Every structure is written in C-alpha cells, then in structure tokens.
Structure 1
Amino acid sequence: MMEASTFMLPAPRTVLVFEAHSDDMAIGMGGFVRLLASSGVSVVACTMTTGETAHAPGQEGSIVATRMDEGSRADKVLGVKEHLFLDHGCQALMNDRVTFQEIVKIIRHVKPDWIFTHGPHEWHRDHRAASQLVEEAWWKASEANVLVDLGPRHKAAAVIFYEVLPVFDGKPDACIDVSRQWDSKITAINCFGSQATTMAGFHGLVEGKGLYRGYLIGCEHAEAFQFSRFMPRAAF
C-alpha cells in the first residue's frame, strides 16, 4: 500500500481505471499505473468499448480479440491486477440507463478508493461519454437505498481525470513525476501493434506531452491529472 497520497487524499488500496479503448490507460496514465502497482496498490482496469473500428485493412475479423490480447499484455507491463472488458461498440458508447447502471455495478463491486477516467472535453466521443458515465455513476454508487440490486453502496474518495487527446482544457490539478516509470509506459503502449497505422505520429505526441508536463514540475517526464468537481471532496 502507498505510504502517502500524491493527491492529498487517503492513500489508496485499490484504484479503478475506466478507459474508452484498450490503449487509453497506457497513453494517459501508464506511468502512474506502474507507480501505483509497484507501491502495492491494486489496479483494476475497465475497457468500455471493443475498439472494432480502429484497424488496418485485413484486420476486420480479428481486431476485437487482438485488442483484448494487446491490453492483457500491456497489463503485465504496468502491473494491472484485473481487467474488465465491456462490449460496447467503438464510437457507440452511450450515456444511457443500461450503461450507467453497468458502471454503477462495477464501482460497487470493485470498491475503489480512487477512480480514474477521461476528461470531459476530449475529442473522441467515446472518451466524453466515458467521462460523463463515470462521474454520475460515482455519485449514484455512493447512495444508500438506490439501485440496491447492483450491490452495496460504495463511495470512492475522488474521480480523477487523465489526459489523452487533447491536453486538458485548463491547468492540471497535479502533474506526477513518472520519469522512472516512463520506459514501462512506452513498452505498454508498444504492445498495441494493431494501432500502428491508426496512431501514426502518436508516439511523438506522448513523448512531447510527457516532457512538457515534466518541465512544469522540474522532472524529465510527468503525467497530468485533474479532479472531477461533480461532487465535493471530503478533504483538501
């Protein structure tokens, strides 16, 4: 378990990371995932879509299985303990009642201390839908006598956004030094070979963003985060 919290919250035992697509976690916060896992924190990931639209010619029939396998290999690099794969279509993740309750159930089952997901202003429609779903589910999962068939209530201390594309609309609340974990982050991203054509040039973006965020706090590489303000925090 972490001895101290980077975010001035009680140190977590378990964190839950929601990602719209199987490579988003590695891109947005792979370094911090590795840091958490190596500190004894249980990291549970949840991929919300199958990612079937992002493939090179000839991959149509195998891309879903391929992306799940790539995600599992990246998990081993980063130290992810458990990975849940949902079956929503890529570019079709919806903030509807069924999906919302699915996310509430996952939160109540995993019982995370912290929850991570996409920021609300990212370009990809699935990223924005994920952000909206997770924020509201964070609230409903904490309410007693609400959706009791989805499990006992659970209140996570915070929902924290990571950035994929573009960078945050506004200043980050924290930049975390992941210089020592950077090689693991890049190794995890490289597990997603099926995305080489759809992500052309993305490695430069990841490196540049890491260097920029690192510059802001005086280290080599960093990852940026913002707190959700959907519900008030219980501590400074």
Structure 2
Amino acid sequence: MTSLTSVPFPKLDVLVVAPHPDDAELGCGGTILKLRAEGKKVGVLDLTSGEPTPHGSLEIRASETARATEILGLDWRGNLGLPNRMLEHTLEARKALASLIRQLRPVWLFAPYWEDAHPDHVAATPLIEAARFWAKLSKTDMPGEPWHPARVYHYYCVHLKMVPQPAFVVDISDVWEQKIASIAAYESQFITGRTATPTFLERLREEAAFWGKSIGVNYGEPITSREPIGMKSLASLV
C-alpha cells in the first residue's frame, strides 16, 4: 500500500474509488485485471479502513488488502482514512479526494453504483462526483494542477437485492480466477464464520456466469454510466 504522502504520485490511467477495501475487487476486479493486461496504469483508493467487522481488525484487513493488491497487480493503492460506517460527503472529504485526483491525474474514475442499502456506498458516489468537479478548479490551495477525469464509470457492489441494468458488460472470462482470488484474499470478510451453502464465493461465480451468459461468454462484469458512452469503432463489441 502506497502512502498518500509519497512524492511523486504516479500518473494513472484509471482510478477506482471504493468505500471499503474489498469493494473494488467485488465490483470491478475483473475490469481492473483487463485494463492492466492492456497496459493501463490502474490504482485503487479506498475511502475507509472497512473496520470494525465481526471477524476482522485493522491489521487483518491491511494484510488482506495487500494480498488482493498483489493479485490485481495494481500500480498504486491508497486509503483516504475517512471513518468507516460514518462516511459522509463533507467539504473536507471532497477537498482531500479532489487533491488526490489532481496529483494522480486519472483519465477515468470508477465509482460505486449510486443506489445501495449501505450508507457508506450511497455517500461515496456523490463525494466522488463532486471531487471530480473540484479537481479542475483554479485559484485554490489544493496541491497539484487542475485536472478533470474524462469519464466516471459505475461498478456494482450493492447490498440491495436488485438486478442491475448496466450500460455494458465486460468479458472477464480470462481473468475470472484472478478476480475471485483477489476477493478470497479478504478471508475475514467472505470466508471466516460463513456457513451458508452455496458459499458467498460460489454465489459470486453464479452472478458472473449470469452476466457472461447475457453477452455469450463464460463470465461477465456489469458496468454503467450516467453519461452517454461514445465509441470510435464497433470492433470491440462481443
């Protein structure tokens, strides 16, 4: 995990912003792996520690995050240190996030889907979208030069029993085993103390297979966008 005080910051192509460590892996771990395979520089910023949880601790979660980061092959990962369970879209949080966007300079941002039962997830999305706007401001005491990511995509990592209506589905068939390994790295969250069958990880495989079937492949990952998506070519369509 890279310190937020590290200088210089790497210039990223993509920054995935997650309410808690494990949300990026759950919602768009496959897309991250695909982007890395294409040579894109990808980072993850966790907004909170994710703790306390029933079977976790700060030390356990940090170790699990480091393992997941290694599996994903991220170019950078940081934690904004905002309070878990009490995440709010405050001006202070917006400034802190906008400052990082100015220094990391990602072309794309990935944020959680805006509807959810988890208050932290619900608070994260408007925080990210507002920080995107603030990052381009001039005449400010925020570090770095003005920067405006061109796009915000939204990944699904929701606690609501809902069927997403994505803008597109990414074929993650060739990276599925890596994605599920990055999720399984969070043993305290998804394995310890869970006795239900099918297991949580088995359910995730079923969901990915559903989305894969929707586009005619083995495994898929749904992504959406509030803004229209432009295409220069249809060559990448499945």
Q: Report the TM range for the smaller structure's normalisation.
A: 0.7 to 0.9
Question: Quick check: 1:159 aligned with 2:147?
Answer: no
Rounded to whole Å, the distance in 1 between the matches of 2:201 and 2:217 is 19
Q: Is the Cα–Cα contact under 8 Å of residues 171 and 221 in structure 2 kept in the other structure?
A: yes
Rounded to whole Å, the distance in 2 between the matches of 1:144 and 1:17 is 24
Rounded to whole Å, the distance in 1 between the matches of 2:51 and 2:12 is 33
Q: Is the Cα–Cα contact under 8 Å of residues 119 and 168 in structure 1 kept in the other structure?
A: no
The one-letter amino acid paired with 2:24 is M
Q: Secondary structure at the match of 2:145?
A: coil
CA separation of 1:20/1:101 partners in 2, compared to 1, >3 Å: closer, same or farther? same
With structure 1 as the length reference, what TM-score do the two structures score? 0.84
Rounded to whole Å, the distance in 2 between the matches of 1:141 and 1:82 is 19
Q: Secondary structure at the match of 1:94?
A: coil
With structure 2 as the length reference, what TM-score do the two structures score? 0.83
Q: Secondary structure at the match of 2:15?
A: strand
Counterpart for residue 45 of structure 2? 46
Tell me, which stretches of 5 or more residues in structure 2 are unaligned? 1-10, 232-238
Q: Within 5 Å, which residues of 2 pair with 1:52-201?
A: 52-56=51-55, 59=56, 63-145=57-139, 147-165=140-158, 166=160, 171-195=165-189, 196-197=191-192, 201=199
Q: Is the Cα–Cα contact under 8 Å of residues 54 and 198 in structure 1 kept in the other structure?
A: no
Q: Secondary structure at the match of 1:150?
A: coil
Rounded to whole Å, the distance in 2 between the matches of 1:51 and 1:170 is 24
Rounded to whole Å, the distance in 2 between the matches of 1:226 and 1:48 is 21
The one-letter amino acid paired with 2:108 is W
Count of residues in correspondence between the two structures = 216
Rounded to whole Å, the distance in 2 between the matches of 1:175 and 1:167 is 19
**What displacement does 1:167 show?**
7.0
Task: Decide which of 185, 191, 210 is 2:208's aligned counterpart.
Answer: 210
- Structural RMSD (CA): 2.1
CA separation of 1:22/1:170 partners in 2, compared to 1, >3 Å: closer, same or farther? closer
**What displacement does 1:143 show?**
3.2
CA separation of 1:153/1:186 partners in 2, compared to 1, >3 Å: closer, same or farther? same
